[in-house]
Each structure stands twice: as structure tokens, then as C-alpha cells.
Amino acid sequence: MKTLAIGEVEVQRGADGLPEAHTTNLSYFSRLADAETFTRQAYVETYRRGTESAGVVCAVQDGAEWLQGLVDVLRPDAVRILDFPHAVEHLTAAAQASLGIGTSVLTAWLDQQAHTLKHAADGVRQVLAALARLPVHTAAEPSLAATARDGAMAYFTKRLSQVQYAAFQAAGYTIGSGSTESANKVVVEVRLKGSGMHWARVNVNPLVALRTVACANRWTEVWPRITARLRADAEQRHRSRWRSRHPMPTTPPAEPPPISTTVAGMPANNTKPTAAPRSKSVVNGRPTAFHPWKRYDCLPAADALTASHANQAAKVRRPPWINDATCPIGARVSYVRSETLGGRTSLAQREPVAHASRYVRPCR
């Protein structure tokens, strides 16, 4: 489990009257992930807190190599500070191998070197000289004592710029990662390592994400966005299930035949053929052969009349004033109606019969 604590540093007076740096307004980011994944995901929280735009950023850490890569990604120009308690732990491991565990000599040596490292301007150089003078040859196991001493000297030599504690304190920087250590206990372990608790790995990160939000007092800000995302994910799953139960046809639709650029009966240049001019239907006030009266027969069809009616109609002589050119439609209809019904020859007083359409095909 990896945890990142981000806060703002304020300088306050300590119990001894000296200025001390305290971290306030803390927020947390914690994940069960490898270093690369943690670095990528932590960028969201650091961006929200304004790490990129801050004037000075201090990265207090325990000296692990992957933390150097984290700082290189998030803020390469950050002031890198080795956590002071971790530095004292390395001193203790080297001194115990030479001076013994729990001896008064060990306690006096550690108190002196820790004070020098924390307050002296060149404290790290003085501590390196003290490490070199450790009596490894009088230790119970000289080879192990020499190995522990050499390892501690290499550790501090590699991190000379990160252990300038006197300069850091004078600038108002914090030299301890207590906020991160407490976050691991209060934010993570209290929630995950309760009595009888067992967690599946896939459930750890979701719970820790909610825990960090709650511990930073951001629940009312974040929870509405979380619920909105959960609803959207549920809707997406619902649509996916619906699509799986209603698959689309796999065969592609048949493509329509290509449209030919040349249409039969049309010129090659796609121009419409010119329609023939229409002939006049009336000339000098008289209908021509193209007039509707000439084109459509207004008399009943031969099959509509019985044989007796046809013979009777043939014997009737038309009045001389009725002809195809001057006969009004109403007079012609009246005439045919009179011949069909009664065989009358006089049409002078006849009017068109209302139900003549049963026997006469109307002119159009």
C-alpha cells in the first residue's frame, strides 16, 4: 500500500521558542498498486492541489528509489528532503553492529550524532566522520559491523543534498514525513486492518479511495460526482446486455445497383427531350380535332345500347341545328336521353335529364 499526503506548510513557534514547520490542510491519495501505476494515478490529486503552480514544493520521503521517480514526474524541481527519523534509523543500525544493542555507549553516541545531523551546518559531514571512527574491530562480529557501517556511509553519501536539515529548518521546511506515516495508520490501516477483516484485492482500492475523500472532509463535494458516474456505468452495462440479447444482423445490406449516367430515351448529356408543341384546340372560335369534344366521344358506347335501342336511334332524324361542331354538351345529352328513353324526335322543349349519366358517358 502506497500513500501520498499533500498539505500546506506553516511556520509556528515550538515549545522551546524556536520556529517549527507544521503541515496543515492535508489531503491524501492511497492505492494498492505498483510504483508506475501509483505515480500515474497520483497526478490527479497533485494537480487538484496545485502542486504544479506552487512556488516551492518540498518532497519529504523515506529515500526509496521509486519515490525519486515519483518526484521526477510530479515536480522535478521540488526540494527533496530525507525524512529525519529514517536517517536516524540508518545511524542506529550501523552503531548497533559496533557498539551493541541497548548499551549506554550506543545511546550517547546516537543522541550526539542525531543532534549534530539536525542542527549543525555541516552535520552530515560530521556524522560521516563519526561513522568512519566506529570501532568495528572490537564488535562481536567485525565483518557484519563493517558491512553495516559501510552501508550507512554509502546511504548518506548518496543523499547529501537531502540531509541538509539545518538549512531546511532555517527556510521553514518540514524535515519529517509524520503526516504520511500517520496517514498510513489512521486513513488506511484503521479501516482495512480491523479485527476479523479480510479483503479481496479488487475491493481495496475502491474502499481506500472513499476513505481518503472522507478523511480530507471532501465527501459532500465528491459524492455527487461518484453517484453520477455509478449511474452512467450502470446504464452502460444495461445497454451492453440489451445489445447482446438483440444482436444486429451480421450480413451487410445489399448494395443498390449503380445508377447509370445514361438513361434510355434521354440524350447523353442528360438533357430532357423537348416536348412536341401542342396543337390548338380552338381556331377562329371553332373547335379543332384536338378539342376535347372531338377527342372524347360524348355519345354512349355501342355495347351500352340494346339492339332495339340502336335500331330505333338510327331511324330518328337529328334536328338540322344539331351537329358535332356547334352542339352544346347539354343539348347533346338531352337528345341522347330522349332517344334512349322514349324515341322522341323533337328536342326543342327538352332539358337535360338529371339522371342521364346512367345512359350517357359524360364528356370530359
Number of domains in the chain: 2
Task: Say which amino acid occupies 335.
Answer: Y
Domain end, chosen from 184, 215, 246, is at: 215
Kindly give, in sequence order, each residue whose CB lies less than 8 Å from that of residue 350, ignoring residues fewer than 6 positions away: 334, 335, 337, 338, 344
pLDDT tens digits along 244-263:
988 877 766 667 766 655 55
Domain interval for residue 8: 2-215
d(CA 351, CA 165): 129
C-alpha cell at 150: 559501510
Q: How many CB atoms lie within 10 A of CB 81?
A: 23
Residue 262 falls within a domain, yes or no?
A: no
| pLDDT band for position 338 (cuts 50, 70, 90) | very low
C-alpha cell at 223: 459524492
Q: Greatest CA span in the chain, whole angstroms?
A: 161
User: Which position has the higher pLDDT, 21 or 296?
Assistant: 21
User: Which position has the higher pLDDT, 349 or 153?
Assistant: 153
DSSP code of 273?
A: P
Residue 222 falls within a domain, yes or no?
A: no
Q: Coil, strand or helix: which one is 8?
A: strand
Domain end, chosen from 162, 193, 215, is at: 215
DSSP H/E element including 5? strand 2-13
- Residue 50 in contact with residue 44, Cβ under 8 Å? no
Residue 41 falls within a domain, yes or no?
A: yes
Residue 227 falls within a domain, yes or no?
A: no
Burial class (CB in 10 A: 0-12, 13-18, 19+), 78: middle
Q: What is the mean pLDDT of the chain?
A: 80
Same domain for 211 and 292, yes or no, is no
The mean pLDDT value for 202-221 works out to 93
Same domain for 208 and 346, yes or no, is no
- Say if residue 322's pLDDT is above 70: no
Which residues are 9's β-sheet partners? 23
3-state DSSP: the chain helix, strand, coil percent, rounded to 5?
A: 50, 10, 40
